[in-house]
C-alpha cells in the first residue's frame, strides 16, 4: 500500500479510536511524539528499529507517556504504528487527521501572510469574509512575511487568495500582454 493511502487509513483509525471530540487533544499529544522523533535520533531509532522487542518498546513508551502526560489511547496508537513500521508516516498522519477533523467540524484553517502586524478588528473582518467565501468557520494563523510589499496572501486548504501588490501587478501584466 502507498504511504499516502496508509497515512489516510491510520488517520481515520485515530479519529475512530479517540472520537471526534478527542481529536484536538490526540493531535497535540502526537505532535509531542513527532517533535521528540525530530529532536532525538535515538528515540526515532527506538521506534523504527525492529531489533527492539515489542514489550521493551511498550514499557519504555509507557514510562515516557507518564512523564509527558500522554493518554493511553495515543500510546496504544503509537505502539501500533511502531509495530507495523508506519511510525515514520506520523507527520503525514497528523496532517491528514487534522484535515479530516476540520472537515467534519465544518471548519477551515487559513494561513495569512502579511508584511505588517494586523489588529484584532481586521482579523475578525477577515474571518467573516473568509467564512462567506468558504461557508465554514475559519481559524486564522497569521505569519509575518516582510518580503511582501503590501497586501496579504491567504491560503485556505489548497486555495490561495492573493491581494498583495506583487500579485496585483502580475495580474495587470498578464492583462496587458493579452491585449
E-only strand ranges, 47-121: 107-114
CATH 1.10.287 fits 106-178, yes or no: no
Q: pLDDT in tens for each of the 179 residues of the chain? A: 456 678 889 999 999 989 888 999 999 999 988 998 889 888 888 888 888 888 888 888 888 888 888 888 888 898 888 888 888 889 999 999 988 888 888 888 889 999 888 899 999 999 999 999 888 888 898 999 888 888 899 998 788 888 888 888 888 999 999 87
| Stated pTM of the model | 0.68
Q: Please give the Cα distance from 144 to 114 (Å, whole number).
A: 5
Helix or strand run (H / E) with residue 156? strand 153-156
Amino acid at each position: 500500500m502507498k504511504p499516502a493511502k496508509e497515512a489516510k487509513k491510520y488517520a481515520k483509525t485515530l479519529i475512530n479510536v479517540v472520537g471526534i471530540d478527542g481529536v484536538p487533544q490526540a493531535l497535540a499529544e502526537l505532535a509531542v511524539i513527532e517533535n521528540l522523533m525530530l529532536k532525538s535520533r535515538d528515540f526515532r531509532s527506538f521506534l523504527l528499529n525492529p531489533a527492539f522487542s515489542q514489550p521493551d518498546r511498550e514499557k519504555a513508551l509507557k514510562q515516557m507517556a507518564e512523564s509527558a502526560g500522554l493518554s493511553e489511547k495515543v500510546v496504544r496508537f503509537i505502539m501500533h504504528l511502531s509495530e507495523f513500521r508506519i511510525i515514520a508516516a506520523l507527520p503525514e498522519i497528523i496532517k491528514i487527521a487534522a484535515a479530516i477533523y476540520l472537515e467534519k467540524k465544518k471548519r477551515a484553517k487559513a494561513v495569512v501572510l502579511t508584511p505588517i502586524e494586523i489588529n484584532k478588528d481586521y482579523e475578525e473582518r477577515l474571518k467573516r469574509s473568509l467564512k462567506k467565501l468558504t461557508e465554514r468557520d475559519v481559524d486564522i494563523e497569521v505569519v509575518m512575511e516582510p518580503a511582501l510589499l503590501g497586501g496579504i496572501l491567504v491560503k485556505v486548504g489548497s486555495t490561495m487568495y492573493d491581494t498583495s501588490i506583487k500579485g496585483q501587478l502580475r495580474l495587470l501584466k498578464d492583462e496587458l500582454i493579452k491585449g
